[in-house]
Amino acid sequence: MRRQTKAWLDSARDDLGGVEEIIEREELTHMVAFHCQQSIEGAR
Q: pLDDT value at position 35? A: 87
Q: Give the residue ranges of DSSP H helices in the chain.
A: 3-22, 29-43
Rounded distance between C-alpha atoms, residue 4 and residue 26, angstroms: 34
Confidence of residue 43 (pLDDT cuts 50, 70, 90): low
Percentage of residues in the chain having pLDDT higher than 90: 55
Convert the pLDDT of each residue in 8-32 to its tens digit: 899 889 989 999 999 999 999 999 9
